[in-house]
Every structure is written in C-alpha cells, then in structure tokens.
Amino acid sequence: MKGSRNFAQSLSLTKVRSKAGKTAVIGWMLLQSLLMSAPAMAQARESLSYTGLLKKIDAGEVERVEIDEAQNVARVRLQGKSKTDPPVEVQLLDRNPELIDRLRKNKVTFESDPTADNSVVVGLIANLLLFMLLIAGLLLILRRSSNSPGGPGQAMSFGKSRARFQMEAKTGVMFDDVAGIEEAKEELQEVVTFLKKPERFTAVGARIPKGVLLVGSPGTGKTLLAKAIAGEAGVPFFSISGSEFVEMFVGVGASRVRDLFKKAKENAPCIVFIDEIDAVGRQRGAGIGGGNDEREQTLNQLLTEMDGFEGNAGIIVIAATNRPDVLDSALLRPGRFDRQIVVDLPTHKGRLKILEVHARNKRLADEVCLDTIAQRTPGFSGAELANLLNEAAILTARRRKDAITMLEINDAIDRVIAGMERPPLVDSKRKRLIAYHEVGHAIVATMLKHHDPVQKVTLVPRGQALGITWFTPDEEQGLTTRAEKLAQITCALGGRAAELIIYGEDEITTGAGGDIQAVTSIARQMVTLFGMSDLGNVALESMGNEVFLGRGLMPQSEYSEEMATKIDQQVYQIAMQCYEEACKIIRDNRELVDRLVDVLMDQETIEGDEFRKIVQEYRDSRSQTANAAN
C-alpha cells in the first residue's frame, strides 16, 4: 500500500513532455515500488529461530513443516493456527539432520518443496531498469539540447558555423540613421549598389570588391554601418564575431570558416560581416614557440576562402576592427580586403548630425541648442554622444521634468567625462587648497597664448577627482605645434605652482601626481618622437613598441646609455622651464588668483565665460592703474 501511494504521488507531480522522459519516470516508479514492497512482504511473515522450532516440535505444537531447499527455509504451520494465516518461516542451517530426526520421532508431517530462486531474476530486472533509466535520461538531455539553437546539443556539430543568417536582414537601421561619417557611408553605398545592380559595374570591366575593412576607434559606428548595409542591400546577410571561430578543439575554427563560406556560396550574392576580426586575424608567427596554434590555422583557412584557388564570386566580406596594426599583412592585401575604410571620430558638423539623429525620440526644451552641445564635445564618438543624450534623459526623469534642459545636458557631459558626482567638500583648509590648485591650472592656461580656453572650473568632486578644470579647443586640431605642447606642460604644472606659491614647499600635496605623469609623458614624446628638443630631428623610440604576442618580452634599447642620459636631461629641462614659467604667472597675478579662489569657494563652479570676464576686468583695472601712475 505504501509503495502504491508513493507511485500515485509521483505520477501526479511529474509532468514530462518527451517519450524519453516518460520512460525514465515509469522505470523509476517500478524500481521504487519493488524496493518498497519487499520490506512490506518481509514484515508480513512471522519468523522463528531454529532452536525455537526444535522446542516446538518436541512440545507437539507443530502441525506441518515444508522445507524449501532452494532458499534454505522451513515454513512451519503451528497447531491452533487458522489455515488462512501465513506459515512461520525458519532459517535453516546448511545441513539439518537433527530437524529431520525430530520430525520423524514426533511424527510431524513434513515434505521438501523446493521453489525457484528468483533472486537472480529480481537483481537482473533491477539492473535493467536502472540501465533503462540512465539511457532515458541521456536521450532526454540530448533531445532538449538539440531543440535549442546554439545550445549544448550542438556538441556533436561544433565544427559548424555559428553565424547568424538572415535571408533579408531586417536590422531596423538604414543609411539615414547613420550620421557624422559621410565619407564611409559613400564608400559603403557603392558596395550596396554593387549588390543591387552589378551590371552597371561589370559592363565596364569592374569587379565587385571581395572585402571591406572598417577601421576606427571604439564607438565610432563600425557595427552600425554594417547593420545599415544589411538593411539597405536586401541580400542574405551572415554576421559572426571573430572570437566565435576559435575554440579549444583543434581544427574547429578552420571547419567553421569552411562551413560559413559554403553556406555563403549557396546564398550568393550575400554579405558576410565579421566583427572584431583581430581576434582571429592577428599576425602569424608572432607567438612564443613557433605560433602553430589553432588561431593561426583558422586564419589560414580564412585567407584561402577569401582569395584562394577556388573563387567565391558574389560574397562580400565586411570586417570591423579597432586594431588594424595587429592584423596579418596577407589578410590586408588587395584581393582579400580591397578597401580599408577609416571610420574616424566625427567633426563638429558630424557631431551635430549625430545629435540630431539621437534627439529624434527625446523631448528637448526650447532652450537646448544642439550646435552648442556639439561645440562642447570635441573628441566624442557617436556612441558617447548617444550615451550623453540618454544620461540627460535619465536625469530629466529623475528630477521629474517634462523636457530635457541645458542643465541636464551640462550635468550629463560632466558625468560622461569625469564620472558620477560625489558629495561636496566641506569648507575647510583642504577645500581652499584644492581651489587654489584648480585656479592655478585655469589662470596659467588663460594667460598662455597657445592653450585651449577654459570651459569650466569646479570644486564638485567627480569620480576620483576632488576638483576639475575643463578646457575646450576652439577648432578641430590634427597637428600640434611645439608651443602648444609647452603650453600643455605649463598648464599641467599650474596647480603645483599655485600650491608652492600660496602655501610653501612643505604644504604641496599629492594632488599633482597625475599632472606630473602627464608632463613627463608629453616631454619625453617631444624629445624621443617629435624632434622638439636640442637633440635634433631624431626618432629615438617607436610609436608601437608595446609587448605584442611574445615580442618585446625582453626590452631592447634603441639608443646608447649616453643618449639615454641626454634624453633624461632634456625631459628634465623642459619640465623645469615650464614649471618656472607657471610659478611666474601665479606670482604676477597673485591678487587675481585670490579673487578667483574666493568666487570659486562661494559658487563651487565658475563657467568659462564668467572666468574670462573676471580676468578681463582685472586686466582692465591694472591697465587703468598703470596709466594713472604714468
């Protein structure tokens, strides 16, 4: 009864969809019922010891004895018991001559009735049920995993390509949704025209480019351009990441490349997009120990498929990377990647168009000027501009406003650049020292002719900085002059100069640590890379001498020890000259510095226009005083 009740409970609680699951459950229930029924049957029979049986025979209390030689058990029916009662079982010894003598002596009816030994059969059935249970569970796991795309069930086909395939890629992105990178759009629109109207080009002998490599910094819109191509072309589209080719199993990556191009040929003309191709396309032979690894075999197969003995007409491979310097030269040659399109950071006009695209679904106040935002965000990528407007929208919702205002825009810019705002500093000596440090940066930059104008000076802590001074360039700068480099160094040392002039040498702080590191880096580049020192126009270091794939593990000096000493002297000389100039500016404008610090302590933030207004008023007053003295 107990076994059947557990069977019913298990049947009511278990819901299995597949046949394998049902088989597993039924097998488990049968095994459970057998195991639980055995103790119940054993408990239903009364037991008696061998000695007790002999005593009862001598006492005449035994009516009949059945001896089962197979199980070595005697089933005893006692006097006075009902015929419906089960006999008493007695475990016998190996040999029982005394029992037989006692039975004959007391004239007790007995007989030998051997039964079949079912223990072997029961054990076999139990083992068979367990085996069936394991097989059913394995089938259930394989069936479930095979039904899920890309799941563990694909273990038997790990050599197949994992590229996402769309007969007509509906990415929701068109060329109208991509702004700020017009040159790259024009190049890729030509690729789309190749796919839609190839006869226009083949009529004059032009061939479709086999590969297009998108190169640019992170966030400039490379993947977005690929989505736009997929949306515009209207041809089959395969997309995969470079890291999905390489696995721990030898030969899997090459097999996936073969399978990908096999599917692409079946659906030509089509587009194959490989994102982050540098994961599989790094230079060969650069690893430690020969470099004959799985990644290199994958790259070899990719080179063969793109331009090998067999052609792949109608397949255009579009790849994206922000590390073109590490790609193998065989991958970059014409015939594989015929075009390399640089997706650069947007200009002022490009940033304005990007802001217009991302502001379509934002509710902006009338006071918001996208052109002003574009002017304040030089060096921002498209992804950073999108994040900027999103942060402004989040701040607007948090402040329960109906539309995004310039206040939220400015706060979002500060947050993107410097990090989240922290609790303000309390009025103390430490806060005033930080104010002098930041005003030192700002006043030195303002007094220098070749430095960018001040955008904002604030004492509001953000990220790891306790105070921040921002600068905004007037125009996009591709080249930097020696005067501008020296102005950058002098401005960076303005904070330390202010600490020294105002508080003395014993009170200078660790706040200038980052500034000093930047100064050393700029000065060293001037000496070793740009030829802006007394050592002349000699490149003493290379731009890309970082450790790469085992190269450069043992640093090799590109110059002698004597030249290294001269480099150190030149770097020190540049830094000290700029530091002396910064100290001179602070001394000559001590009154102005104190006035700006008082304003900054009161307001905690001084915008660039207000800062320059105070500086101009100070200059006018000094000129009037000088004229009156003359």
- Known catalytic residues are 438
Two tokens, residue 272: 């194959």
Contact 253, 297 (CB under 8 A): yes
Two tokens, residue 37: 């029924």
Two tokens, residue 291: 């470099």
Q: Is the dihedral of CA 189, 190, 194, 198 positive or negative?
A: positive
Contact 552, 546 (CB under 8 A): yes
Two tokens, residue 395: 């701040």
272-to-185, 338, 477 alpha-carbon distances in Å: 18, 15, 36
Task: At 201, give phi and psi (nearest 5°).
Answer: -95, -40
CA 515 – CA 494 distance, rounded (Å): 9
Pairing of strands 454-458, 605-607: antiparallel
- What is the number of other CB atoms lying within 10 angstroms of the CB of residue 93? 10
Two tokens, residue 159: 């050599």
Which of these, 319, 384, 387, lies nearest to 346 by C-alpha position? 384
- Rounded-to-10 torsion of CA 270, 275, 277, 278: 170
3-state secondary structure of 78: strand
Task: At 91, give phi and psi (nearest 5°).
Answer: -75, 125
3-state secondary structure of 579: helix
Question: Tokens 């037989």 correspond to what residue?
Answer: 100
The H or E element spanning position 166 is: strand 164-166
Two tokens, residue 293: 């690894």
CA 549 – CA 283 distance, rounded (Å): 9
DSSP 336: T
Give me the DSSP letters along 79-141.
Answer: TT--TTSPPEEEE--S--HHHHHHHHHTT-EEEE------HHHHHHHHHHHHHHHHHHHHHHH
48-to-52, 62, 151 alpha-carbon distances in Å: 6, 12, 61
Which of these, 599, 601, 579, 445, lies nearest to 512 by C-alpha position? 579
62 conformational bin, left if phi > 0, alpha if psi -120 to 50, beta if neither: beta
